[in-house]
Amino acid sequence: MPAEPRRRDFLRSAAIGAAAPLVTSGWAQRSPNDTVNIAVVGFHGRGTAHYQAYAKMRNVRIAALCDADERLFPQAVANVESMAGYRPATEYDIRRLLERKDIDAVSIATPDYWHALMTIWACQAGKDVYVEKPVSFTVMEGRRMVEAARKYGRIVQAGQNLRSSAEVRAVTRLLNEGRLGKVYRAQVNITKPRGSIGRTAESPVPPGVHWDLYLGPTPYRPFSLNHFHYGWHFFWDTSTTDIGNTGVHHLDLARWGLGKRVHPVKVHSAGGFYVWDAEQETPNFQAATIEYADGSIIDLTINNVYGPSGPWNVFYATQGYVSGSNENSKWETVRGTFTSRKREGAGGVSEAATNASFPTASYTPGSPVESDREQTVSNFQNFIDCVRSRQEENLYCNILEGHMSATLCHLANISYRTGRKLAFDPDTERFVGDEDANRYLTRPYRQGYTVPDKV
């Protein structure tokens, strides 16, 4: 069937550490006790968590901090010095950073539209990579990242950090072992209110900001604050919408709980931008239905305006359901039972037959979530452990897993932008008979920042 090559992809991915030729630089021939030198790229927001995590690790050194906004350097360098006792180097251009032979790995927390190109460049330079979610900006980019990791024998971890939660790992193990029967539906229902970004005028580029480099692969535009730090999340040229920002964590969990290591075959998404008067282009409410070849479904709503907040993930199975919100919540498993009701005969006389159409449903606690059986190791530590061991199969979320989950976001956004339900071929990673939709599978690049067709 068409999806089979994608199943084989996972088997090939699991063997990459042993089967693929390793680039001579990096950790191919070194002792596990040697220091891992890592560079953190992009640290205005999420990247701060990156360098804070590495600064606490034994035999890990933050060799460099890299960001296109040099104004961020003094505070970040001071933070690392305070935590680790040394001062990392600084660099604003990752290309110069990748020329350094003393750097073993890079940890990428830049805007989404930079993820693929930086990852591919790093793999080509013989560096291992930790890359934030969503790993890619388009479906094509995700596939090139998988190819680069394989070709150059690199350890590439996707930043789907729910996978490091002992509670979440226990929940998915319970589901995958079938302890509530077959899981046929995964629901993601996120309410995360965000205020209006308003409108900002074009203004001069601040001193110390390398604006052309910051934009990188995306189309050039004059500087404005709404298109800079974090504001890039709200414009189509730079954004994967809040599905790619917040939803990808929980879509990844939904796919994991369903046991899906293939792409879906159908997707439909609708929504809009509500409440605020602002220059934001992307929706602040979006709903999507994602269907797999076997009929199982992920249904998603992500709401950035007013609304009640309940469990962010619910899994429905043939014997009950499981619900919870994130890595810190108490997940609940529930087992259901249907009991048929007696039918009343003529004149109120009870009959032996039962009313199958209107049974009574009752619920009891389901299998316990045995999180004490799972190790508590962060995604960052798991990455460093795999850099040392070269065992790609031990990564919490290798690049192929990251590509599969990012693709769910891209498919939903493409359906939203085209305004219709779409059929997707998991084997070719293209939409069926819809060239208008297929044009969103890649994007135009600025000269010097092109993701290559062949890595």
Kindly state whether residue 227 falls inside one of the protein's structural domains.
yes
Kindly state whether residue 250 falls inside one of the protein's structural domains.
yes
193 & 328 share domain: yes
**How confident is the model over 73-110, as pLDDT tens digits?**
999 999 999 999 999 999 999 999 999 999 999 999 99
Residue 4, pLDDT above cutoff 60: no
Tally of structural domains, the chain = 3
255 & 381 share domain: no
Kindly state whether residue 411 falls inside one of the protein's structural domains.
yes
* Mean pLDDT along residues 308-318: 94
Residue 45 near residue 230, CB atoms below 8 Å: yes
75 & 128 share domain: yes
Neighbours of 411 (CB within 10 A): 26
Domain that holds residue 105: 4-164+376-398
20 & 93 share domain: yes
Distance of CA 165 to the CA centre of its chain: 15
Kindly state whether residue 318 falls inside one of the protein's structural domains.
yes
40 & 119 share domain: yes
User: In the structure encoding, which two tokens stand for residue 85, read together?
Assistant: 């006792």
203 & 156 share domain: no
Considering only CA atoms, which of 372, 341, 368, 375 is closest in space to residue 357? 341
Record the pTM: 0.91
**Mean pLDDT of the chain, nearest integer:** 91
Residue 231, pLDDT above cutoff 80: yes
User: In the structure encoding, which two tokens stand for residue 58, read together?
Assistant: 């034994």
Residue 72, pLDDT above cutoff 80: yes
426 & 384 share domain: no
207 & 97 share domain: no
CB neighbour burial string for 200-220, b if at least 16 within 10 angstroms, e if fewer: eeeeeeeeebebebbbbbbee
- DSSP, collapsed to helix, strand or coil, labels residue 331 as coil
Output the DSSP codes for 204-232. Answer: PPPTTB-HHHHHTTSPP----GGGSTTGG
Amino acid at the residue 81? E
Kindly state whether residue 446 falls inside one of the protein's structural domains.
no
Kindly state whether residue 440 falls inside one of the protein's structural domains.
no
What pLDDT band is residue 9 in, cutting at 50, 70 and 90? Answer: very low
219 & 196 share domain: yes
Helix (H) or strand (E) holding 251: helix 248-258
Residue 335 near residue 365, CB atoms below 8 Å: yes
Kindly state whether residue 15 falls inside one of the protein's structural domains.
yes
Q: What is the pLDDT of residue 373?
A: 85
What pLDDT band is residue 453 in, cutting at 50, 70 and 90? Answer: very high
CATH code for position 151? 3.40.50.720
CA torsion, ordered 259, 21, 18, 177, to nearest 10 deg: 0
Q: What is the pLDDT of residue 17?
A: 34
320 & 345 share domain: no
